[in-house]
Amino acid sequence: MPVQNKFKDKIIAVVCARAGSRGIKKKNLIKINNKPLIYFAVNKIIENRLRFNCISTNSSEINKTSKKFGINSFFLRPKKISSSNVAKLEVWKHALKESEKFYKKKFEYFLDIEVTNPLITPKDLKIFLNKFKKLKGKFDGMFCVRNSWKNPYFNILRYKNKRFSTAIKHSKKIVSRQMAPQTFDHVAAMYIFKSDYIRKTKNFLDGKLFPYKIPLNKSIDIDTYDDYSLVRKLMKK
């Protein structure tokens, strides 16, 4: 086995694509550059030759479309973990369990690729995986962040009783953005964890996690038609 594949063969790569999105109807199948959105997530896995992979979906249509692009499909997600109010961690736990049963193999790492961020490329995933490999097991996982667009200590506000206040109070008076503590936006793009951590944790943020910073122009998650329009324009460029 080539040396470069030893790390990859310890990974189960998963694409989670639930049917029933509220913001955009059939969001995972909308077209960008004449390709359904699900294609860009699956292609990142295929281009990086992650041979242990699967699609987690409750939709036979998404399942069929994904398989055409090369990802493995061997289960449909149960109804009880297919609603919008179910934590993604529960979907990850289920996908990991089903994958180890199907492949008859215990995976050391669990990788999730978000469907709704097609701006992340196969090359970005390669760099992401290499970074995690270099961390040499010092962290339970790694996921994508960007420096906060707005800061909750300064310019993210709450409105109550006809008065504004900052979303988070601080012990000292914050009068400028530069004085505010550093905060991050969680970016739905790529996640990788030790599989044992996924099995045991009750909240994916509870562990020792490495923040993988990505630039603003790759951090846009498609939730609305405005997001969709912006991403299409960026990808044309």
Whether 54 contacts 12, CB under 8 Å: yes
CA 42-6-132 angle, 5° bins: 65
Position 25 scores a pLDDT of 87
Q: Are residues 116 and 134 in the same domain?
A: yes
Q: Which pLDDT score is estimated for 5?
A: 76
Q: What mean pLDDT comes out for the span 195-209? A: 96
- Are 113 and 198 in a shared domain? yes
Co-location of 210 and 95 in the same domain: yes
Average pLDDT value for residue range 145-172: 89
Q: What is the pLDDT of residue 20?
A: 80
Q: Tell me, yes or no, whether 57 and 159 share the same domain.
A: no
Answer yes or no: do 178 and 99 share one domain. no
Q: In this structure, are 211 and 158 located in the same domain? A: no
For residues 201 and 178, state if they share a domain: no
How does residue 4 score in pLDDT terms, banded at 50, 70 and 90?
low
Same-domain status, 72 and 27: yes
Q: What is the spatial distance between Cα 111 and Cα 50, in angstroms, rounded to a whole number? A: 10
pLDDT digits (tens, 9 = 90+) for 28-43: 999 999 999 999 999 9
Q: Which domain holds residue 156?
A: 149-182
182, 201, 226: which is the final residue of a domain? 182
Give the total number of structural domains in the chain.
2
Q: Are residues 71 and 171 in the same domain?
A: no
State the pTM of this model. 0.91
What tokens were used for 152?
């909750």
Q: What is the tens place of the pLDDT at every residue in 41-82?
A: 999 999 999 999 999 999 999 999 999 999 999 999 999 999
